[in-house]
Structure 1
Amino acid sequence: MLPMSSSVRRFLLTKAKTYVRTVTTSKPATSFDDDQIKQNYDIIIAGGGMVGCTLACAIGKNSLLSHLKVLLLEGSPQQKYELKPEYSNRVVALNQNTKSLMNSLEIWQHIEKARVQPVRHMQVWDASSNALISFNSADIMDDDVAYIVENDLLLHAVNKELTSPDLKNVNIVYGAKISGYELSKHEALTRNLIKMNNGDTYSCKLLIGADGANSAVRNAMGVQYLSWNYDHMGVVATLHLAEETENTTAWQRWLPTGPVALLPLDSKRSSLVWSTTVDHAKQLLQLPEEQFVDALNDALWKQYPHSSAVEACTSWFGSCLKSIGLPDGAERQLPPSVKSIVSASRAAFPLGFGHSTRYVAPGVALVGDAAHRVHPLAGQGVNLGFGDVKDLTEFLADAIYTGLDITHHSWLERYESSRQRHNVPTQIAVDALYRLYTVDLPPVVLVRSLGTQLTNALQPIKKLIMSHATT
């Protein structure tokens, strides 16, 4: 277990004021006798995706929590993983905080043995002006900006540790079909019931919802969920580049319809995430492969119309920055050209925003997309989820360390407060960026261009951005 933070120590010296919130259930309460319950657990995690599996692994490996009985319920059947020559079209950009978590759980070693691509540079630029911002790992931090890993490889690496013989307190049920939840209404005697389609019923002290954006656990809690769709889709594909390069740069260009991004996979291949309107996304999926490649290269290289007034203002501002010894943003790298796409690698998924006003209730906690959903433009979605894993595990361990139960409201609410202080500003910032850059009016383009130029010129601001993005 990591050493307790100063805030935890202060809690041990002062009495925190907390409150208990009653939640509603999705179904009428039903009385269950003990003989109707197949098995009792301390913790049940609903959802065995990347975040849910990592949480089960983190709890199982924590010395203060390893005595707890944990059940992981995953709706999909158990998959046999095979590392194929071609990359998957679904990848994640893991930040330093996530890498540290994976290292602490001995998961990272499995990823490194397979394949992972570091991102050492990142360039983001505007199609409607000459403004850009770049990040260089050598300038702003001691390590790489991010690491590109395939979703299924990451899940396989987590499962290798999760199913290790040394992890004896975690059970996994694959193909688990949950019919409903009956949640405890009383903190003093928490007992959540999970009913399965096959008639089985499990009980637990702490139920953790890691079941995605359409979380049934969150619905059972009865909490308010703020959400909206962007009426955009993310088109993904695996790309072959025209020339072999070191390929450690992530590229993102803001188009009037949304951002198009290339994430490096190896010296010859990159992964595409192209956010665009629903109609355009459907057109891109239907294009012949050669025409799709042409459309993508146009998106990366085409000169879009620029406002002469915006150009004059940004040029003058760049000169001012240069005159006081700051970078004016005139120097830029050119993105790679795409030669072809991997056959059948194109796919699309809807984009939206979501945030649960509460992450916890008596005997219940939410993690990952069950608690929050963001636009993929900043690559923060899964990293926020892994941040939830780290904090929740530490707060549960701190509860045990102080002689309290894992369902004690003060520690669950500390988890909620800690994560919402980090997640909400991130979500708001990402949503604001999306809205700011999908408007093509010259005054808006001017404001965002000047802001981009100034941010790129001021190293402390860039460090602050990267510091928040990697924690």
Structure 2
Amino acid sequence: MLDMLVVGGGYVGLAAAVAVKQAAPHLDIEVIEAAPAGVWEKDERASAIIAAASRMLEVFGAWNEIAPEAQPINRMIVTDSRTSDPVRPVFLTFDGEMEEGRPFAHMVPNVAMVRALRGVAERLGIPIRHGLSATGFRNGSTHCTVSLKDGSTLETRLLVACDGVRSKLRDMAGIRTVTWNYGQSGIVTTVAHERPHDGVAEEHFLPSGPFAILPLTGNRSSLVWTERTAEAERLVAADDLIFEEELQRRFGHKLGELRVVGSKRAFPLGLTLARAFVAPRLALAGDAAHGIHPISGQGLNLGFKDVAALAETVVEADRLGLDIGGLNVLERYQSWRRFDTFRMGVTTDVLNRLFSNDLTPLRIARDLGLGLVEHMPKLKTFFIDQAAGKTDSEGPKLLAGQAI
């Protein structure tokens, strides 16, 4: 019988398995992944990794492998304008250094992250089985029995669902969600440009939604371009010449000529918040617990925060001789994470609704608000600390760079 079975072999699932196994090597942990082997290694996207998450990856021993491909974000610029505006005034800037030698975030290629986490999992002896999905589970007094797609079963004391925003395990457990669709899609691609970006990230609030330019290593940037869904589909289907012309209108010319060097994909945007993060012998983590708008770049980082809290909850319960899958144990994890997640979900929802429009009164009000933050150093520091995931003494140890 397993101690912990993780369903989902992406970044959050691998991190959850690694975090618990590293702190409690005697626990028997396994990961199953519905996708065939090699799929995650083909992901061309990049993710913003906040300082707290990079500290956790350092504890795992994964960050040294990731670091050569990670681009520090040295500065963040926020503008609010129309696409046709000849000048985009800067309303808010954040210096990227949270503390000496550590920026508040890095941009990391997803392939580098999954490769490093998979390597740590293998060194810890965590089996990762591909092409397997859970089709059901049945709870018992000491464990649950998980039915798999190939007809086999696994018994585990704790089942961790990291199977995405459309989590089947969440639905099987009868956990309801708060869900709505924004009618927007996020276009994601990578572009090369003539001039260096100097580690500067930019977020342009345009009437159709935020347009984020995020620096990668070399003269490259990752884009998260929000448009109404029909327009996003048209742009992705267009040839590169049309796409690049529309892109240049939004990107501007300060980095010179642009060239698309990655595949173009559009992802529907919405909000999904699980009403509960746990059920008997089940814990949700990552997108299975929450899917939010990318306006803040916090989606994956919320998942890493889940990992830190869940791992500490499980490991401490194990050290005390408690049942790691017991609902009374898992409720500590839920209380640790649910408020922070709902707060972030509501914040991104409000920001998206506030900035994804062209109403003059709202534009004046929000620009005044951005300008106010820009001229209040203590408030800016607070926002930077929040963005970087700075924790207090009550926060999970892994996010502070401490082993459990």
Equivalent residue for 1:249, pick from 200, 203, 209 = 200
Secondary structure class of the residue paired with 2:283: strand
* In the alignment, structure 1 residue 52 sits paired with structure 2 residue 20: no
Residue 123 of structure 1 is matched in structure 2 by: 77
User: Quick check: which has more Rg, 1 or 2?
Assistant: 1
Contact 2:3 2:27 in 1 (8 A): yes
**Match in the other structure for 1:61:** 22
Which of residues 249, 254, 260 in structure 2 aligns to 1:341? 260
Name which of 113, 133, 136 aligns with 1:154.
113
The 3-state SS of whatever aligns with 1:163 is helix
Aligned with residue 135 of structure 2, among 179, 189, 192: 179
SS at match of 2:187: strand
User: 1:197: which partner in 2?
Assistant: 149
**1:202 Cα deviation from its structure 2 partner:** 0.8
Task: Quote the offset at 1:109 in angstroms.
Answer: 1.1
Q: Calculate the aligned-residue CA RMSD, in Å.
A: 1.9
Q: Contact between 1:43 and 1:69, CA under 8 Å: does it hold in 2?
A: yes
Q: Secondary structure at the match of 1:77?
A: coil
Alignment of 1:88-107 (within 5 A): 89-107=44-62
Distance 1:335 1:151 in 2: 27
Conserved 8 A contact 2:41-2:111? no
Once the 2 structures are TM-superposed, how far is the Cα of residue 130 of structure 1 from its aligned partner?
3.8
Q: Which residue of 2 aligns with 1:275?
A: 226
1:205 and 1:363 in contact (8 A); partners too: yes
SS in 2 for 1:161: helix
- Conserved 8 A contact 2:75-2:200: yes
| Corresponding residue number in structure 1 for 2:169 | 217
**Measured at CA, do residues 196 and 445 of structure 1 come closer, stay the same or move farther in structure 2, by a change above 3 Å?**
same
Q: TM-score, normalised by structure 1?
A: 0.78
1:225 aligned partner, one-letter code: T
Q: Deviation string for 1:104-151 (max 9, x for gaps)? A: 0001111124x111111010110158462110024x544212111111
Contact 1:436/1:444 (CA < 8 Å) preserved in 2?
yes
Q: 1:251 to 1:416 in 2, by over 3 A?
A: same
**Identity of paired residues, percent?**
31
Pairing 1:79-90 to 2, within 5 Å after superposition? 79=38, 89-90=44-45
Deviations 1:62-116 (A, max 9, x none): 1xx2211112111122228989xxxx64110000010001000001111124x11
User: How many angstroms does 1:362 deviate by?
Assistant: 1.4
Picking from 65, 73, 76, the partner of 2:32 is 73
Q: Deviations over 1:151-180 (max 9, x none)?
A: 12211110011111xx23x22211113322
- Note if 1:403 corresponds to 2:321: yes
**1:367 Cα deviation (Å)?**
0.3
Q: CA deviation at 1:286?
A: 2.6
Aligned with residue 293 of structure 1, among 244, 258, 266: 244
Q: Which protein is richer in strand relative to its size?
A: 2
Aligned-partner Cα distance in 1 for 2:133–2:218: 42
Specify whether residues 97 and 455 from structure 1 end up closer, same or farther in structure 2 by C-alpha distance, changes over 3 A only: same
Which residues of structure 1 form unaligned runs of 5+? 1-39, 302-333
Which letter does structure 1 place at the counterpart of 2:217? D
Match of 1:228 in 2: 180
1:81–1:257 CA distance, 2 compared to 1 (3 A): closer
**Are 1:135 and 2:86 counterparts?**
no
Counterpart of 1:351, as a letter, is L
TM-score by length of structure 2 reads 0.90
Distance 1:338 1:374 in 2: 32
Deviations 1:230-288 (A, max 9, x none): 11111111111122x25301111011001111111123111111011112112211332
Q: Contact between 2:81 and 2:206, CA under 8 Å: does it hold in 1?
A: yes
Q: Does structure 2 conserve the Cα–Cα contact (< 8 Å) formed by 1:117 and 1:265?
A: yes
Q: Structure 1's 171 and 149: CA in aligned 2 closer, same or farther, altered over 3 A?
A: same
Distance 2:220 2:312 in 1: 38
